[in-house]
Amino acid sequence: MLESTFIHIPGLCSETEKKLWQAGCRSWRDLADGLEAFSVGQVEKSVVRSTLTKSFKSLEKRDGVFFQKGLGLREAWRAYPEFKDSVLYLDIETDGGQSGNSITTIGCYDGVDFRCFVKGQDLQEFPEYASNFAMVVTFYGANFDLPMIEKRFSDLRFRQLHLDLCPTLRQLGIGGGLKKIEKQLGICRGEDTDGLGGLDAIRLWRRYSTLGDDQALETLIAYNREDVVNLEYLAGYAYQHLKERTFRWEESEPSSS
């Protein structure tokens, strides 16, 4: 879908993108090779040519920053397959406070391995770890997780592609909290974490931090793990259904208009 996307070109709207698809222009290469034949609305063709050149180079370099600027939060899902090998699925837990120091765990999953950064143990290692990824996937992370992390680490700013599944799934008419959506889509949690929510995560941390209850920390980490691992399925689901809804056209012969 990313290489069939044109709305990241400055000034090119979704209606012009659809007209390009309908005219037989289905990829960056199609547009680059046929720029004189296809209509790009009011956009200067020099801007189109320059953006396409940067698009090819940025995809080759795995530069998520370039595409985040062009796609924004609403359309970041379009880049998911191309950047799936460099995705950080992320979710935080807190002690209930609103300061950066309220973060207790940061759960991370790269599609293969899970890692949980824990306050008082290795939380300070998170920024270096996160810098290795071109795309971040969260649920409601634009409003909560990422701002909280940036409060905690004043030198850290998330400029990568960011796929926030909360507003992205709402585009498909799927709303509510993460646990509700998981049940709606048939995702089951383990017996030790099924039914747990944010308040439970706070209580588990308090039991660990005040009573030294290691089992409470283990349960908290298991809960955090399912939060992030399940994001992979939801990201794939959102991408597939949004692609089917978005990348459509009435078959017609290529046109110069």
Q: Tell me the two tokens of residue 91.
A: 């979710």
For the entire predicted model, the pTM comes to 0.92
Gap between the Cα atoms of 85 and 111, Å rounded: 8
- The H helix count followed by the E strand count for the chain is 11, 5
* Cβ neighbours, 10 Å, residue 158: 20
pLDDT of residue 249: 66
Tell whether the model's pLDDT for residue 159 goes beyond 80.
yes
* Cβ neighbours, 10 Å, residue 222: 19
- Which residues have a Cβ under 8 Å from the Cβ of 183 and sit 6 or more positions away? none
| pLDDT tens column, 88-122 | 999 999 999 999 899 999 999 999 999 999 999 99
Q: Tell me the two tokens of residue 65.
A: 């920053």
- What residue segments make up the domains of the chain, in order of their start? 2-61, 82-242
pLDDT of residue 197: 85
Instruction: Say how many residues make up the chain.
Output: 257
| pLDDT tens column, 224-243 | 999 999 999 999 999 999 99
Q: ∠ CA(155), CA(140), CA(17), 5° rounding? A: 95
| pLDDT tens column, 22-59 | 999 999 999 999 999 999 999 999 999 999 999 999 99
Radius of gyration of the chain (CA): 21
Helix 64-75 / helix 45-61 crossing angle, nearest 10 deg: 110
Element (H, E) at 137: strand 135-138
CB neighbour burial string for 175-204, b if at least 16 within 10 angstroms, e if fewer? eeebbebbeeeebebeeebeebeeeebbeb
Task: Give the count of alpha carbons within 13 A of 68, CB side only.
Answer: 16
The CATH homologous superfamily for domain 82-242 is Ribonuclease H-like superfamily/Ribonuclease H (3.30.420.10)
Which residues face 150 on adjacent strands? none
31 with 38: CB under 8 angstroms? Answer: yes
- Judging by DSSP bridges, how do beta strands 87-94 and 135-138 pair with one another? parallel
5, 23, 27, 26: which is closest to 14 by C-alpha? 5
Instruction: Specify the residue for token string 């289905």.
Output: 26
| pLDDT tens column, 73-90 | 999 999 999 999 999 999
Gap between the Cα atoms of 155 and 39, Å rounded: 44
